[in-house]
């Protein structure tokens, strides 16, 4: 079986890029096709891979530039030469699902979500400080683009979602029911922490829709130490919001990130994620999380104050939920967290449920099933 991996773009340190790194471990001989590869702006684990960017590599220097050219990315992916491969495994939020393998080859798309600006425009731009005219124009642009994104999602022979929450959204948008394979966490890489220092931690791309601003405001108010690891377009705005108890670390190496996880008291996750690897990375170090009780967190975090989604006893708790993206809700969650005791080995055990060995086993099984299925086109 000759397999090729296709990913939208390798231009940041997000969870999707971590998944591509694991795919490279599973299929080390497979080339990775992508629109743009910026090695200094994504995970170091990919630097030894056979990565084949498109002509956009010559003109794009950062993620913001790539976003301005997003319609081109769909057309570029459609023109990729994928001859010689039996299986094309695309890893996609927006354009990689639009690739067209040769007749007889199978295209399986690991679809993280639909393209959010096209399908959830108001939620996506809610935290951006844009005027009404700009939002109105962009709403029309992305609404018009929705049809192209829908057609792209019909290209793969099979869609695979990263959570049941994401699968429901994908099915509503694309009228296709995906399989579900949870993304991997390489649990063995994360040290089980033996101590905690007196700081809370945020690990995130700094984008407005991630709602890091809420956490900054909460820790300004509480005056508790908060460290923010990550980079993005919202960096300067968030720094202006921050008081003396909030420290912005920026992008860090994998080893440094592990150290921040291992030494923190707790990781705070304020955004609604389709899955969200950060809570599980924290759990792999035995650290609890304070998370928004929506989306993928309901499938990964065992919350002490869960309203019934997990059905697990309180002694197995790995974190605590808040249910509204407001400073008041997060303040209450932080104060509740301080009254609870969490057990590090219990928390780490939860992360093992999502280890990369399980991901590899389920993904390979799915590919084998698909190859064995009758081909209809």
| Whether residue 377 has pLDDT greater than 90 | no
Predicted structure pTM score: 0.91
pLDDT band per the 50, 70, 90 thresholds, residue 44: confident
> What token pair was written down for 215?
């956490």
307-319 average pLDDT score: 69
Check residue 290 and give its pLDDT.
98
pLDDT in tens, 324-362: 999 999 999 999 999 999 999 999 999 999 999 999 999
| Whether residue 249 has pLDDT greater than 70 | yes
pLDDT over 70 for what percent of the chain?
97
Residues 6+ apart with CB under 8 A from 324: none
Dist CA 150 CA 174 (whole Å): 6
Check residue 31 and give its pLDDT.
98
| Whether residue 172 has pLDDT greater than 60 | yes
Q: Indicate the domain borders of the chain.
A: 3-184+356-372, 188-352
Alpha helices, H only, 127-231: 132-153, 164-174, 212-222
Fold category of 3-184+356-372 in CATH: Rossmann fold (3.40.50)
> What token pair was written down for 261?
């996880």
HSE-CB for 50 with a 13 A CA cutoff: 8
User: What phi, psi does 118 have (nearest 5°)?
Assistant: -80, -30
**188-352 matches 3-184+356-372 in CATH topology:** yes
Check residue 313 and give its pLDDT.
55
Determine which of 253-257, 308-312, 341-345 has the lowest per-residue pLDDT on average: 308-312
Fold category of 188-352 in CATH: Rossmann fold (3.40.50)
């Amino acid at each position: 079986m000759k397999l090729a991996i296709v990913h939208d773009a390798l231009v940041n340190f997000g969870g999707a890029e971590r998944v591509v790194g694991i795919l490279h471990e599973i299929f080390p001989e497979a080339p990775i096709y992508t629109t743009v590869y910026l090695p200094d702006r994504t995970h170091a684990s990919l630097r030894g891979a056979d990565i084949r960017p498109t002509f956009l590599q010559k003109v794009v220097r950062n993620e913001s530039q790539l976003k301005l050219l997003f319609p081109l990315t769909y057309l570029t992916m459609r023109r990729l030469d994928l001859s010689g491969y039996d299986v094309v495994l695309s890893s996609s939020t927006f354009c990689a699902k639009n690739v067209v393998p040769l007749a007889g080859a199978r295209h399986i798309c690991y679809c993280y979500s639909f393209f959010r600006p096209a399908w959830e425009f108001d939620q996506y731009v809610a935290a951006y400080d844009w005027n009404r005219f700009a939002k109105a124009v962009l709403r029309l642009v992305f609404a018009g683009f929705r049809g192209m994104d829908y057609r792209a999602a019909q290209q793969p022979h099979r869609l695979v979602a990263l959570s049941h929450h994401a699968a429901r959204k994908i099915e509503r948008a694309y009228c296709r029911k995906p399989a579900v394979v949870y993304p991997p966490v390489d649990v063995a890489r994360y040290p089980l922490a033996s101590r905690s220092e007196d700081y809370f931690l945020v690990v995130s791309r700094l984008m407005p829709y991630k709602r890091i601003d809420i956490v900054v405001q909460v820790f300004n108010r509480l005056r508790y130490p908060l460290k923010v690891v990550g980079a993005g377009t919202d960096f300067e705005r968030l720094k202006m919001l921050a008081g003396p108890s909030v420290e912005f670390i920026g992008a860090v190496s994998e080893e440094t990130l592990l150290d921040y996880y291992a030494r923190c008291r707790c990781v705070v996750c304020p955004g609604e994620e389709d899955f969200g690897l950060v809570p599980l990375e924290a759990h792999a170090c035995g650290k609890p999380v304070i998370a928004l009780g929506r989306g993928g967190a309901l499938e990964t975090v065992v919350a002490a104050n869960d309203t019934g989604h997990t059905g697990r006893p309180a002694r197995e708790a790995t974190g605590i939920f808040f249910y509204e993206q407001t400073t008041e809700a997060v303040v209450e969650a932080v104060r509740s967290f301080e009254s609870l005791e969490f057990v590090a080995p219990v928390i780490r055990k939860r992360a093992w449920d999502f280890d990369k060995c399980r991901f590899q086993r389920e993904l390979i099984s799915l590919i084998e099933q698909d190859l064995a299925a009758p081909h209809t086109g």
